[in-house]
Amino acid sequence: MTPELALGGLQRWLQAVVESPGSVGRALASREAARLVSPGKTHEVVLPSARQSAAERVGVYQGMYLPRMYEALEADYPGLAHFLGGAAWERLVRGYVTDHPSRSYTLDELGRRLPEFVRRARVRRPAFCHDLARLERAVSEVFDSPETRPLAPPDFASVVTRDWERARLVPVAALRLVELDHDAGEYLDSLRGDAHAHPPVRRRRTLLVVSRRNYGVLRREQTPAAFALLRDLVGGLTVGRAVARALARRGPARLAGADAAFRLFRDWAAMGLFRAVAGERPGRVAGRQVARGTNPQEAGLTRKRV
Amino acid sequence: MNRFGLPDLGIGIGLRTVHFGEILAGKPALDWFEVLSENFLDTGGRPLHVLDRVVERFPVALHGVSLSIGSTDALDRAYLQKLKALAKRTRARWVSDHLCWTGVLGRNTHDLLPLPYDRATLRHVTRRVKQVQDVLERPLVLENPSTYLAYARSTMTEWEFLTALCDATGCALLLDVNNVYVSSFNHGFDPRQYIDGIPADRVVQVHLAGHTHHGTHILDTHDGPAISEVWKLFARLCARTGPVSTLYEWDASIPKLAAVVREAAKARPFLTAVAATGTDDA
């Protein structure tokens, strides 16, 4: 309640005001801020200028906080922001940054929890919004993942046939497998250009590989059989075990046969999804380089753009 | 010439995503680029690829917004280590950030929040600048921020504070002339007094930019050309510093590269003139 604050108290007060939504008057009176400085004593902490009161000067900073958050999150979730529209988007962001304020030196980390948040938020079509946000997050992560040189077809060819069954394919860092209940990719595609002829939101199980080629992010839909096999491979199963599981599945996730597996491997190699062929245990390499990590999440996750 | 022996890089602009293609495809008439550190600390994709190509062709300096040198939170050591690694990768001529704080309690408002200028704050910031310089193994370059409020407890002007901080830590200055102008309007001081009051031999870089006048206050928006008063202050500064690395910032409503280059090039006659005539301080 005293304006005689040490530097730490002063900073906690100003931050509390800046982060509070609504008018600056309401922000100054917020519980955390008022605990440190009574709203009526603002002028004892901040000097008025010739043209502004102390509260108005604090309000300059407070008024810029949320627009900065709207802008930062819209940069990472343009599809979600567009789908919800101005007021609903801003309401979502206000709630989100209240629960999950930035704790990183980069704004690119700010939206990491938005997909989970939107699933429980009071927005229209929350399940679709969740899918859309998950896809946009995957795109961001792939965009910023470390560049790892993918295996070329000759690298695959160098693996002796008898080694394949026990080999493990090590994914590139810029790879995410995204399983959706809606065709969120179709919605993102519809944002391109000026037409904005958005497709109706519809439930459709959509299995996507999000990867990168020449620094551009690509989305490619997979069949259930292909997706299940790829998920096993990325998860670290040997080629032999993954293919055996794929052939043993029932329903649409069942792989048609060994030829189908061959075609898939050829497609994935062309897409540059793998960076090494490793032995059954990490470190035993049949391919070009030692590979110890098989987790596709090993990439750094943040990004920032101007 | 600055006391650090840091080079005069000439005229540059901030490296911005919207210009990546034009920069890689052409030969912009620029001497150097300033790189926003946080944009490249955690990316391994196209931004880093482009940065590597830029570094092959131009000198760069790193400019950060999240060091939070004035915060009462502990310094982020992981951030500093990443910053140091990026400086090494890019052969950055120097590393700068702002005299401000960005958050406490582990949070980041991503704003350059003002500090009170008094002895207690000076001691606090001095201690932290020394810690940062120990990690980076080079002088830290600090920029004067645009500020929109002033604290009742301040006992020093900003330029007095910066001078004392430089003396106590050996740090260098990035003098943002537009920020001097913006703050002078917001706080009612004579910007010429600020320019005349800073230790000129500590200035290794200058920023120029546009701002937005709201009648009651001015915001540092970096969204257009600098006004004539800012250019006059720049001339006044150059008369004290001599030729100095000069950078034009354009961060909102960013036009084509050529337009930003044209605006930056307006600094050249001032720098050429002072190179010919020498400094007032000499």
Question: What's the mean pLDDT in A111-138?
Answer: 97
Domains contained in chain B, CATH given: 11-276 (3.20.20.150)
Beta strands in chain B (DSSP E): 11-14, 32-36, 60-63, 95-98, 141-143, 150-151, 172-176, 203-209, 212-213, 218-219, 245-249
Distances (CA, A) of A136 to A80, A114, A139, A304, B231: 8, 10, 5, 14, 43
> Are B151 and A46 a contacting pair at CB < 8 A?
yes
B 12-31: CB under 8 A from A: 14, 16-18
Round to whole Å and give the CA distance between B173 and B175: 6
Instruction: Read off the tokens for A190.
Output: 């519809």
Q: Which residues of A touch B149 (CB under 8 A)?
A: 46-47, 54, 57-58, 60-61
Min Cα–Cα distance to chain A from B240, Å: 30
Domain spans in chain A, listed from the N-terminal domain onward: 7-124, 148-179+206-293
* Residue A281 pLDDT level (bands cut at 50, 70, 90): low
DSSP-assigned letters across all residues of B209-247: E--EE-SS-EE----SPPPHHHHHHHHHHHHHH-S-EEE
Supply the Cα-derived Rg of chain B in whole angstroms. 18
- A223 within 8 A of A251, measured Cβ to Cβ: no
The structure's pTM equals 0.91
pLDDT reading at A283 higher than 90: no
Nearest CA in chain B to A109: B42
| CB spacing of A107 vs B71 below 8 angstroms | no
**Residue B282 confidence (pLDDT):** 55
pLDDT means over runs of 10, chain B (282 residues):
94 97 94 98 94 97 98 98 98 98 98 98 98 98 98 98 98 98 98 98 98 98 97 98 98 96 98 89 60
pLDDT at A28 over 50: yes
Which of A5, A11, A53, A93 to mutate against chain B (most B CBs within 10 Å)? A11
Residue A182 has pLDDT above 70, yes or no: yes
- The answer to whether the beta carbons of residues A10 and B70 sit under 8 Å apart is no
A303 versus A141: the higher-pLDDT residue is: A141
Closest residue in chain A to residue B184, using alpha carbons only: A49
Q: List the single residue in B with minimal CA-CA distance to A146.
A: B44
Record: contact A300-B44, CB cut-off 8 A: yes
User: Helix, strand, or coil here: B34?
Assistant: strand
User: Residue B214: which residues within 8 A CB-CB, separation 6 or more?
Assistant: none
Question: Buried (b) or exposed (e) across B135-145, using 16+ Cβ within 10 A?
Answer: ebebbbbbbbb
Tens of pLDDT, residue by residue over A205-227, are 999 999 999 999 999 999 999 99
Intra-chain end-to-end CA distance of chain B, in Å:
10
Complete DSSP assignment for B175-204: EEHHHHHHHHHHHT--HHHHHHHS-GGGEE
Min Cα separation B90/chain A (Å): 17
Nearest by CB to A303, from B42, B71, B79: name it.
B42
Q: DSSP for A125-154?
A: SHHHHHHHHHHHHHHHHHHHSPP-PPPPHH
Residue whose pair of structure tokens reads 């190699």 in the numeric block: A269
- The b/e string for B82-113 (b: 16+ C-beta within 10 A; e otherwise) is bbbebbeebebbbbbbbbbbbbbeebbbbbbb
A285 has pLDDT over 90: no
